[in-house]
Amino acid sequence: MSDDLDDIQAIFFEECNEGLAVAEEGLSTMADGDTSADVIAGVFRAVHSIKGGAGAFGHERLQSFSHIFENLLDEVRAGRIEPTAHICKNMLLAFDVLSDHVQAAQGHAEVPDDAAMLATLEALLVEGAGDTPAAETTAEASTPAVEGEADEFGFMPVVVDIEDLDGESDPFMDLGDGDAEESTAAAGWSIRFAPSRDAMANGSEPLLVLRELERMGGEVVAVETASLPPLRELDPEGAYFAWSITMPASVTRSDIEEAFDFVAPDSVVDIVEGETMPSHDSEPAERPGAEPEAEDQPVSAAPSPSVAAAESEPSALPVKAVPAASPAEAKALEAPQNIRVDVSKLDMLLNLVGELVIRNSILADRLSSADQQRVELPELARLTREIQDNVMALRAQPIRQAFSRVPRMLRELCSATNKDVALEVSGEATEVDKSVIEKIGEPLTHMIRNAVDHGIESSEERVAKGKPAQGNLKLSAEQRGARIFLRVADDGRGIDRERVLAKAVEKGIVAADATLSDEEIDNLICAPGFSTAETISSISGRGVGMDVVRSNVEALGGRIEITSAPGKGTTFTMILPLTLAILDGMVVRLCGQRYVLPLSNVVETVQPEPGQMRPVANSSEVIDMRGTYVPVKRLSELFQLPPADREDEDSVVIIVETDAGNVGLMVDTIEDRREVVIKSLDQNLYPIRGLGGATILGDGSIALILDIEALVASANSPNKFVLKGMAA
């Protein structure tokens, strides 16, 4: 049982996180000035569901905070509080506290101190109510809810008191009769729908029918609560209400009947054409709220007490306040259906498909081409490839997930550094493999911290320089071929190359007399242990930031580019592979072994002519490439393999692109070009510098995948391949 509850709770937290993302996006949109009803409703719904779940699982602090937050949002949604910039800003701050609460409820963090934020929200609520007298009655109507809020049982605040349920009076249910009448007048069909008592036990959910009708343009004009028993006799799973619904004349009878296809057998459904309501339905305007039969409740104006008692949300409550189905919710019903899948299952699938690809190449290797045709191997290969692509697509996620935490981080950075920075995000729909998304979070954080702390100047400094007072940070993602380009661009002061160089000399990273190009100097900020910050702030300046960025990006098989214009800004570009599981590679042979070079590194290949290779001092060589001398490394020497017994002219030099410029790698022969499935070495061993992993080739043998960057870097360093800690 508790396991089940844990499972449900895990789903709740997942939904919380999705809800938070939606809320944040909506709030940011509002802060940017778009305060349309859809946006506000979206935020409201997100916060509302968090509150609902929090109550059900007994997260009281989360629930009480989200409740107040929701109240404010509700007022804004109803138009009683103007969504001014001030309100939006405070709502964003409240959102931050809400995220902290969610974290705390998950046990990931301490419960935040929300007293100040609560006070602010309460103040805004009071202010809002005071400003618009028209809203006062409604604000009061929800007061009991606010008081009942801190209920020790964690029960949801509900705008219903027990007397209502006892059927004596429904003071709140006569709001907005006028609306109901108006829409009745405009309707072409009048429908009365009274689901049977055990409709829900039969699995027929009246809410779905109502939503379907609403989607077709229908409107609930009255709810009969007459059959609602006193609370102690109430069966929480029973259906007690009946609804009167009006439909526009444009809807056909068969469409309406179709909506009722799946209602429980003994439900009452009366469909009457014309403007008059069926006789057994009471006239709402004549006896407002007094008559037990005549309880109408305009769904759009106030929380309906129990339309959704049977809402499938895990709730311990028989009765619970839920906002009525809004048009947007009805729209959501039409949205594509999704299922949740454990990522490990996807990983397993990906592994299996990888195996399938390998088996396929084994078959291709072993069968003659006539036999391949005979058994339709090419067809099988095509299918396999398609499956592979589709599985990869399953793992692809919009990069938005990685971007989503940036706005909050930026807000916190801005308040910590007293800077004013606007964020511009583009390309957040770009899809990349999940593993990439998981791993770019940290580099992204460092790059943004760096941009705000070092790049963008304070407002005064900016104004003095004739720039707009507000700094600008652009975050963008785009796909080019099999690579993702992720950019963080600021319009700050740019890299102070003199200072960077001086600092690098001071820290012994470069020699004092070294002459470096601008580009080389810019790249120094990624050198280990480098930091120019005068004081070490909590944000950056420990000299680890950009070093981490660089190593993380390299670990992902990507690289980082820095461009900077003094006074104008700096742009960091992370260039990452789309996936970490499959690599387009060139298979080469060397001393009887096969190796795979990532094709993305390969510039060109050349078979050296006699005299094209020239020895230079201390046993290094260069190759003359159309007048440019490119250093050449013999792979056999890098790997300490027995020297190849072949002439240079029989070998192949592969020119590869690296951070340190182009380098030629000498191998014996080139065998093939193919996509390989990357198997990491650290699954059973540990990562080896210079190797990006291994792959299994068509004949079942293992080929090592070269990590060109690391390989060349280690070849250039004096202590090549020193593996730390290997004592034996």
Which segments of 39-156 are extended strands (E)?
A: none
What's at 677, amino acid-wise?
V
In angstroms, the CA 11 to CA 613 distance is 63
In angstroms, the CA 486 to CA 443 distance is 11
Residue 718 binds other proteins (CB under 8 A): no
Q: Checking phi first, is residue 431 left (phi over 0); if not, alpha (psi -120 to 50) or beta?
A: beta
Cβ distance to other proteins smaller for residue 300 or 593: 593
- Among 690, 692, 698, 707, interactor with other proteins by CB under 8 A: 690
The DSSP bridge pattern shows strands 471-480 and 483-490 to be antiparallel
Residue 590 binds other proteins (CB under 8 A): no
Cβ distance to other proteins smaller for residue 239 or 712: 712
For residue 374 the two structure tokens come to 């005979």
Residue 282 DSSP one-character state: -
Stretch of 217-225, 245-253, 410-418, 636-644 contacting other proteins, by CB under 8 A = 636-644
The DSSP bridge pattern shows strands 613-616 and 396-398 to be unpaired
Rounded to a whole number of angstroms, the minimum distance from the CB of residue 414 to other proteins is 37
First to last CA, the chain: 52
The Cβ of residue 14 has, within 10 Å, a number of other Cβ atoms equal to 11
Residue 548 binds other proteins (CB under 8 A): no
Residue 723 binds other proteins (CB under 8 A): yes
- Among 319, 703, 708, 712, interactor with other proteins by CB under 8 A: 703
Cβ distance to other proteins smaller for residue 50 or 697: 697
Stretch of 117-125, 566-574, 614-622, 673-681 contacting other proteins, by CB under 8 A = 673-681
Q: Lay out the sheet containing 652-658: strands in order across.
A: 602-606, 652-658, 661-667, 628-634, 620-625, 613-616
What one-character-per-residue DSSP string does 94-127 give?
Answer: HHHHHHHHHHHHTTSSPPP--HHHHHHHHHHHHH
Rounded to a whole number of angstroms, the minimum distance from the CB of residue 391 to other proteins is 16
Residue 477 binds other proteins (CB under 8 A): no
Cβ distance to other proteins smaller for residue 385 or 689: 689
Cβ distance to other proteins smaller for residue 617 or 726: 726
CA distances, 206 to each of 159, 212, 231, 641 (Å): 21, 10, 21, 75
Rounded to a whole number of angstroms, the minimum distance from the CB of residue 196 to other proteins is 56
Stretch of 122-130, 465-473, 507-515, 715-723 contacting other proteins, by CB under 8 A = 715-723
Rounded to a whole number of angstroms, the minimum distance from the CB of residue 360 to other proteins is 13
Whether the Cβ atoms of residue 576 and residue 588 lie closer than 8 Å to each other: no
SS3 516: coil
Rounded to a whole number of angstroms, the minimum distance from the CB of residue 696 to other proteins is 5
Rounded to a whole number of angstroms, the minimum distance from the CB of residue 591 to other proteins is 9
Q: Lay out the sheet containing 483-490: strands in order across.
A: 421-426, 471-480, 483-490, 569-577, 559-565
Residue 532 binds other proteins (CB under 8 A): no
Cβ distance to other proteins smaller for residue 621 or 707: 707
Residue 688 binds other proteins (CB under 8 A): yes
- Among 300, 351, 384, 479, interactor with other proteins by CB under 8 A: 351
Residue 339 binds other proteins (CB under 8 A): no
Q: How far is CA 728 from the centre of its chain?
A: 46
Rounded to a whole number of angstroms, the minimum distance from the CB of residue 720 to other proteins is 8
Residue 694 binds other proteins (CB under 8 A): yes
Rounded to a whole number of angstroms, the minimum distance from the CB of residue 386 to other proteins is 21
Residue 598 binds other proteins (CB under 8 A): no
Cβ distance to other proteins smaller for residue 335 or 685: 685
Residue 685 binds other proteins (CB under 8 A): yes
Cβ distance to other proteins smaller for residue 574 or 638: 638
Q: Is the dihedral of CA 387, 389, 392, 398 positive or negative?
A: negative
Cβ distance to other proteins smaller for residue 240 or 595: 595
Residue 588 binds other proteins (CB under 8 A): no
- Among 198, 679, 713, 716, interactor with other proteins by CB under 8 A: 679
CA distances, 196 to each of 201, 206, 240, 242, 445 (Å): 10, 10, 8, 9, 56
In angstroms, the CA 368 to CA 355 distance is 21
Stretch of 143-151, 329-337, 566-574, 718-726 contacting other proteins, by CB under 8 A = 718-726
Stretch of 16-24, 42-50, 391-399, 632-640 contacting other proteins, by CB under 8 A = 632-640
Cβ distance to other proteins smaller for residue 455 or 690: 690
- The angle, 0 to 180 degrees and rounded to 10, between the axes of the packed helices 327-334 and 206-215 is 100
What one-character-per-residue DSSP string does 315-364 give?
Answer: -S-SS--BPPPPHHHHHHHHSPP-----HHHHHHHHHHHHHHHHHHHHHH
Whether the Cβ atoms of residue 698 and residue 624 lie closer than 8 Å to each other: no
Binding footprint of other proteins on the chain (CB under 8 A):
351, 354-355, 358, 593, 638-641, 679-681, 683-686, 688-691, 693-694, 696, 700-704, 720-721, 723-728
